[in-house]
Amino acid sequence: MKNSDIVLRAVDLYKSYGTVKAIDGVSLEVTRGETKVIVGPNGAGKSTLLKCLNLLIKPDKGRIWLEDVEITNSKTDICKIRQKIGFVFQEFNLFNHLIVLDNVMIGLTKVKKLSKEEAFKRAQEVLELVGVERSLWKRYPAQISGGQKQRVAIARALAMDPIIMLYDEPTSALDPQFVGEILEIIKMLSRNGLTSLIVTHEMGFAREVADEILFMYRGRILEKGPPTQILARPKYEATKRFFKEINRLYGAGG
Amino acid sequence: MTSLATLLQYIPYMLEGLIWTFTLVSGGLLLGFTIGLPLALAEVYGGEYTRTLVKCYIWFFRGVPLLVLLFLFYWGVFPSLGLKLAPLSTSIIVLGLRSGAYQSEIFRSAIQAIGEGQILAAEALGMNRLQAILYIVIPQILRIAIPAWSNEYAIILKDSAICFTLGVAEILTRARYVVITTGVALIPYLIAGVSLMILTYFGVKVLDRIYSRVKIPGLGVSLP
Amino acid sequence: MNFWSEFIVVLARGLIVTLEILSISIPASIILGIILGSLRVYGGKVTSTLSSAVANTFRGLPLIVTLIILFFGLADLKIYLSPFWAATIGFILCGGSYISEYVRTAIYSIEEGQSLAAQSIGMTKFQELIYIILPQAVRRALPAISNEIVYMIKYSSLAFIVGVQEIFSVAKTFNSLYFKSTEIFLTLALIYLILTGIATIIFKIVESKLKIPYS
């Protein structure tokens, strides 16, 4: 059941690197409970866009709101905002020097200032939710597989109890055998009502999970719409070409 | 208190000391090179007995403080051998012996960086060991070693000031003389320190420049 | 035999002073090095420039000149440091500057992703430095830091120049009485070799205790 309450809103975002326009005027909105998927060719600016939304990258122009707080206002405490936005990286970025359990707990103890017992309880919850076995909790990131790393990364973000999750190509760095299980987790969380914004190449997954798909091309959102509409009847040449190529490479389920 | 003008008179005298600094540094580096390169080759290509000897040499001359080495040789070893060497000569020899130990490590890393395939390829062409080393290994390691070597230069330059304890007339000794004569301490010592800093800085810059000219694209080694 | 028994007593006294200096200089220079290195990377424009200037000065100045300036030079400005403190402060400044360079390099070697991940869960720059970056960077800098400590042990002999009665100084004085130079300075050499050997072993143990599996 979705209500029209907007969790994340971005208006007229621009970001350039030298002469390259990574983001060339992007606006978007994510309502509570919605799952939006951003697709597009490499270099279209999808990753940059996602990282701008929690100000890991500072946009040159544009404004962003989380619920009714303007993130881009210099007076806003960005650290408090980031606690409410969960971010999952393509390269996992687990803290190398901490065991799995501490990776999940450190945000709770040091940022949210929970007690060790409360932090442990919460960490336990999310690790079990994403399916990381207890036997792995005392291991270091270097000692677990890519699929397990990404699960821990998702748990780490979830533990902070965010109101929206941002996934930056969560399966692109994984060996093929792990892609499916991570997508299942993201699907499960989305179905449970977790507001999600996902950048991905996995079209079959996008079709299943998205309430709306945004096609990004050369720094702009070229087209958007529900999966059935945008995949069946793309309006622009670029969109058509992109989907055709994806279909060719990965088949209809790709 | 002496006036600034009087102090300024002594500056040429102090800066002249840099000539002796330069002598110490170049003498030490040169001697270190003639010891270090053969030692490195011996350590990599020599037999077990040779390697152990080289390792002992390195361990001793890297592990004992320069100050102790200077006094050991000046007051102990050389007189025992019946040699009456001046402070300058002793200093150069000691700096050289010590630098030889460090330089052998530098060249050893360089040899290991270029890989043993080089020697194998050379021998496959029909060269004997000596030719392979002369024509293939040495030209390469001399280039690769330059960054680490410039670090050695910086260290010897700064350590040359320690030779003032034997009375070598380099810049620190002269600064001390000025201090005792004029009663002003801070300025002469600052001048000595800053001069050495400048020499270090520019020397390293020059070596960097040389390195970028002669370096082999795609091949390098990090400081040992 | 008389010579040796006297010599050992004298050496012991000097060794205690050397160890006193080192027991303060070594921890203090490591702490200074970590702080200075962090400031050079994470400090604002002013702080980082200032920290780098300090570090580069004391790396560029020969240690012996630093010691002499601290003891003899500062006297001109009416700052009178005792020989012990002139030496100790000199070692801390010099060692700390070198260590700050190693820490700085190590911080830069940490992948950006670690920083981004720390920020993504809402950590401030300070929290990111303390909880995520430094624990990894200091581990990486450990070999270079232990190397620097070995240098410090050797260069502690320079404290003799400002009049500290540490082990080199007492040996030299002893030498002017007995003139058995080779025996005296060779023994001294051996003692330094043992000291640095012990330090190296200690650091190897510390390194293995702090080791973390890295992919």
| Chain segment C72-90, per-residue pLDDT in tens | 999 888 899 999 999 999 9
Q: Indicate the pLDDT class of residue B224, thresholds 50, 70 and 90.
A: very low
Whether residues B189 and C197 touch (CB distance < 8 A) is answered with no
- Residue A149 within a domain: no
Whether residues C121 and A91 touch (CB distance < 8 A) is answered with no
Residues of C with CB under 8 A from a CB of B: 57, 60-66, 68-69, 72-77, 154-158, 160-161, 168, 172, 175, 181-186, 188-189, 192-193, 196-197
SS3 C100: helix
Contacts of B186 in chain C (CB under 8 A): 69, 73-74, 76-77
In angstroms, the Cα distances linking A82 to A5, A232, C172 are 20, 37, 64
What is the predicted pLDDT for the residue at A2?
43
In this predicted structure, the answer to whether residue B192 has a pLDDT above a threshold of 50 is: yes
- Where is A78: in which H helix or E strand? helix A78-84
Select from A89, A93, A106 the Cβ nearest to the Cβ of C131. Answer: A106
Higher-confidence position of A4 and B27: B27
Whether residues B77 and C74 touch (CB distance < 8 A) is answered with no
- Residue A124 within a domain: no
Instruction: State the nearest Cα–Cα gap between B177 and chain C, in angstroms.
Output: 13
What integer is the mean pLDDT of C149-164? 94
Going by C-alpha positions, the residue among A216, A233, A189 that lies closest to residue A86 is A189
Q: Give the count of domains, chain A.
A: 1
Chains that touch C (3 or more CB pairs under 8 A): A, B
What is the predicted pLDDT for the residue at A1?
40
Asked whether the beta carbons of B42 and B126 are under 8 A apart, the reply is no
Amino acid at A192: N
In this predicted structure, the answer to whether residue B11 has a pLDDT above a threshold of 60 is: yes
- Residue A201 within a domain: yes
Whether residues C181 and B184 touch (CB distance < 8 A) is answered with no
Contacts of B165 in chain C (CB under 8 A): 161
- Residue A99 within a domain: no
Q: Indicate the pLDDT class of residue C202, thresholds 50, 70 and 90.
A: very high
Whether residues A56 and C116 touch (CB distance < 8 A) is answered with yes
What integer is the mean pLDDT of B74-92? 91
In this predicted structure, the answer to whether residue B223 has a pLDDT above a threshold of 80 is: no
Contacts of C123 in chain A (CB under 8 A): 79, 107, 110-111
In this predicted structure, the answer to whether residue A233 has a pLDDT above a threshold of 90 is: no
What CATH number is attached to the domain comprising A13? Answer: 3.40.50.300
B172 interfaces chain C, CB cutoff of 8 Å: yes
C27 interfaces chain A, CB cutoff of 8 Å: no
What is the predicted pLDDT for the residue at A250?
65
In angstroms, the Cα distances linking B46 to B38, B51, B91 are 10, 6, 30
Question: A89: which residues sit within 8 A by CB, 6+ positions away?
Answer: A153, A168, C113, C116, C117, C120
pLDDT digits (tens, 9 = 90+) for B97-122: 999 999 999 999 888 888 778 888 88
Q: Rg of the Cα trace of chain A?
A: 18
Instruction: State the nearest Cα–Cα gap between C193 and chain B, in angstroms.
Output: 5
Instruction: State the nearest Cα–Cα gap between B193 and chain C, in angstroms.
Output: 6
Reading the block at residue C103, the tokens are: 């820490």
- Residue A56 within a domain: yes
CATH number of C2-210: 1.10.3720.10
Contacts of B190 in chain C (CB under 8 A): 69, 73
Whether residues C62 and B186 touch (CB distance < 8 A) is answered with no
Q: In whole angstroms, what is the distance from residue B220 CA to residue C56 CA?
A: 25
pLDDT digits (tens, 9 = 90+) for A139-159: 999 999 999 999 999 999 999
Give the ipTM of the model, two decimals please. 0.88
Q: Could you list the residue range(s) of the whole structural domain that residue A57 is in?
A: 6-93+169-250
C210 interfaces chain A, CB cutoff of 8 Å: no
What is the predicted pLDDT for the residue at B1?
52
**Helices (H), strands (E): how many in chain C?**
9, 0
Whether residues A142 and C121 touch (CB distance < 8 A) is answered with no
Mean pLDDT of all residues belonging to chain B: 89
Q: Which domains does chain B have, with CATH numbers?
A: 4-214 (1.10.3720.10)
Whether residues C185 and B72 touch (CB distance < 8 A) is answered with yes
Instruction: State the nearest Cα–Cα gap between C45 and chain B, in angstroms.
Output: 24
Q: What is the dihedral of CA C166, C168, C172, C174, to 10 degrees?
A: 60
Using a 10 angstrom Cβ sphere, with 0-12 exposed, 13-18 middle and 19 or more buried, the burial of residue C28 is middle
Going by C-alpha positions, the residue among C23, C16, C56 that lies closest to residue C37 is C56
- Residue A62 within a domain: yes
Whether residues A91 and C215 touch (CB distance < 8 A) is answered with no
Contacts of B77 in chain C (CB under 8 A): 182
Whether residues A140 and C212 touch (CB distance < 8 A) is answered with yes
Whether residues C123 and A110 touch (CB distance < 8 A) is answered with yes
Q: What pTM does this model have?
A: 0.88
- Residue A29 within a domain: yes
Instruction: State the nearest Cα–Cα gap between C38 and chain B, in angstroms.
Output: 23
Q: In whole angstroms, what is the distance from residue C55 CA to residue C49 CA?
A: 10
Nearest chain A Cα to C210, which residue?
A97
- Residue A121 within a domain: no
Task: Compute how many other C-beta atoms are within 10 angstroms of the C-beta atom of residue C212.
Answer: 14
Whether residues A93 and C117 touch (CB distance < 8 A) is answered with yes
pLDDT digits (tens, 9 = 90+) for C90-106: 999 999 999 999 999 99
Contacts of B66 in chain C (CB under 8 A): 154
C60 interfaces chain A, CB cutoff of 8 Å: no
Q: In whole angstroms, what is the distance from residue B76 CA to residue C185 CA?
A: 8
**What is the full DSSP assignment across chain B?**
---HHHHHHTHHHHHHHHHHHHHHHHHHHHHHHHHHHHHHHHHHHS-HHHHHHHHHHHHHHHHS-HHHHHHIIIIIIHHHTT----HHHHHHHHHHHHHHHHHHHHHHHHHHHH-THHHHHHHHTT--HHHIIIIIIHHHHHHHTHHHHHHHHHHHHHHGGGGGGGT--SHHHHHHHHHHHHS--HHHHHHHHHHHHHHHHHHHHHHHHHHHHHPPTT------
What integer is the mean pLDDT of C181-187? 91
Using a 10 angstrom Cβ sphere, with 0-12 exposed, 13-18 middle and 19 or more buried, the burial of residue B212 is exposed
In this predicted structure, the answer to whether residue A116 has a pLDDT above a threshold of 90 is: yes
Higher-confidence position of B215 and C142: C142
Least-confidence region, from A194-208, B6-20, B28-42, B54-68: B6-20
Q: In whole angstroms, what is the distance from residue B150 CA to residue B174 CA?
A: 26
Reading the block at residue B113, the tokens are: 């960086």
Task: Give me the percent of chain B exceeding a pLDDT of 70.
Answer: 96
Nearest chain C Cα to A142, which residue?
C215
Reading the block at residue A236, the tokens are: 């622009």
Using a 10 angstrom Cβ sphere, with 0-12 exposed, 13-18 middle and 19 or more buried, the burial of residue C142 is middle
Whether residues A93 and C122 touch (CB distance < 8 A) is answered with no
Q: In whole angstroms, what is the distance from residue B30 CA to residue C213 CA?
A: 43
To probe the interface with A, which of C114, C121, C123, C136 has the most A CB atoms within 10 Å?
A: C121
Q: In whole angstroms, what is the distance from residue B211 CA to residue B145 CA?
A: 9
SS3 A185: helix
Contacts of C164 in chain B (CB under 8 A): none
Q: Do chains C and A meet with 3 or more Cβ pairs nearer than 8 Å?
A: yes
B197 interfaces chain C, CB cutoff of 8 Å: yes
In this predicted structure, the answer to whether residue B221 has a pLDDT above a threshold of 70 is: no
Q: Indicate the pLDDT class of residue C136, thresholds 50, 70 and 90.
A: very high
Contacts of C132 in chain A (CB under 8 A): 95, 97
C120 interfaces chain A, CB cutoff of 8 Å: yes
